[in-house]
Amino acid sequence: MIFFLIYFLFFQSGLEVSYDYNYFYSNDTFYLNFGYKIPYSNLIFFYQKEGIYFSRFLIKLIFGDIILEKIDTIILNNYEETVSNKTKTGEINLAIFNKGLNKEFKILIKDLNSEREYSKKLVIDFNKPNLFINCNQRENVRLSIGDSLIFQIFSYKLEEEIYYQIINPEGRVIRKDRLLNNFLKILLVDLSLFSQSGNYQIEFFNKKVKKNFSFYLDLPFYLSDKDYFKKVSYLLYVATPNEMKELKKAKREEREIKWQEFWKKKDISEEEYFSKVEYCEKNFGRGDKGVFSDRAKIYFQYGEPDYIENFPYEIDKKPYIKWYYYRYNKEFTFVDLKGFGEYVLVSEK
C-alpha cells in the first residue's frame, strides 16, 4: 500500500525542468532558442532488453499559430544512471519572418513513459537587451584535446562591447578578451590553459547581460598536471623514491612513454595495482587517508585480512579494529585515536 502511494504520487507530480531561452530580431526575422535540462532521476525509464533502459519525452513550442514538436530519447546501459543526478540537455529553435510578433510563447514537455508534464507560458520583452549564443557543440558535452568550440554571437539592442572569459574547473579565469566580431573559435590545444580535466565555463558578457556555456574537458591523465601528479603519488607501494622523482620531473610530452616504461619493469600490472588503490580509497577514505592510511600500508603488504573484528563501543576505550592474517600468523590493531575515523596502527603481533 505504501509503495503504491509513493508510486502514485510520483506519477502525479510534474516534471522538474530548468530552462533558458535566447532571442534576437534581425531584418524582420525573429530567432528564438529554448534550451532545457531534465534530471534523469525525474524521468521514467523502461527496461527494454539486454540491460538497456530508455526514456522518451515530447517537447512542444507554441508561438501563436506556430507549433514546433520534437521527441527526445535517452538510452542508458545501467539502472544506476537512471536515478543519478545527470541531466538530459537539449534545445528547440524557431525562426519567424514577421513584423507583428506575439510576445508570448508556451513550452510543453511531456514524459511519454508516464504522461507527466511540464508547461510554462513565457513573455518576451522585445525592449530588453539580449545575447543569442550558437555553438557547434551542445552544452555540457565531453571534449578532448584537439577539439574545437565555434561560437556565433548575436547581440540584440546592445551597443556596449562584449567580452568573453574562460573559467577552469578551479574557478580561475584563464583567458579574458574582447569579442572583435560575432564569431569566436576556441581550439582546445593549449595545454598551458587547458591543463586539467573537469568542467569549464565560457562567459559572454557586458554591463547589461551575461550568457554561459559549459563543457567538460577529458584529458589523458598524463597531459593533466593535477591528474598526473596525483596518480604518481599513488605509486608509493610499488615505486622507489628515485623512480617517483623521475616520473614527477618528466616533461609533459615525455610522461606517457616514461609511465609505460615504468610498468614494464614491475611484477604487478598497472590495472591490478590501481584496482588495489581504488579499494583503499573506497574502504579507507571516509575519515581516513585512503591509499595513504595505515590500513592501506598493511593491505598492500599482506592483502585482504582473513578476518576482521570491530570494537566501536567498548567502555573507556577508543574505537579499534583487529585484522587477522592466519596464513602469515599476523595480527594488527588499528585505533581511531581522534574519533574521526582515522585508524592508526598501534600494534603488530
At residue 200, the pLDDT reads 96
Sequence letter at residue 14: G
Rounded CA gap, 195 and 215, in Å? Answer: 14
Domain boundaries, the chain: 14-126, 129-219, 222-267, 269-349
Position 5 scores a pLDDT of 35
- On average, the pLDDT of the chain sits at 88
Q: E strand or H helix at 186, and its extent?
A: strand 183-187
Q: Note the pTM of the prediction, 2 decimals.
A: 0.66
Whether 97 and 28 have beta carbons less than 8 Å apart is answered as: yes
What is residue 304's predicted lDDT score, i.e. its pLDDT?
A: 93
**Which among 250, 200, 245 is positioned nearest to 221, based on CA atoms?**
250
pLDDT tens profile 253-311: 999 999 999 999 999 999 999 999 999 999 998 889 999 999 999 999 999 999 999 99
Q: 295: part of which helix (H) or strand (E)?
A: helix 294-302
Evaluate if residue 6 carries a pLDDT over 80.
no
Q: Looking at domain 129-219, which of 3.50.50.60, 2.60.40.1930, 2.160.20.10, 3.40.640.10 is its CATH number?
A: 2.60.40.1930
pLDDT in tens, 16-69: 888 888 777 777 788 888 888 899 988 999 988 778 999 999 999 998 888 999
- Same CATH topology for 14-126 and 129-219: the answer is yes
CB 196 within 8 Å of CB 226: yes
Which architecture does CATH list for 14-126? Sandwich (2.60)
- Please give the Cα distance from 165 to 263 (Å, whole number): 40
Q: Which residues pair with 143 in a beta bridge?
A: 217
The conformation of residue 16, written as its DSSP 8-state character, comes to P
Q: 7 pLDDT exceeds 60?
A: no
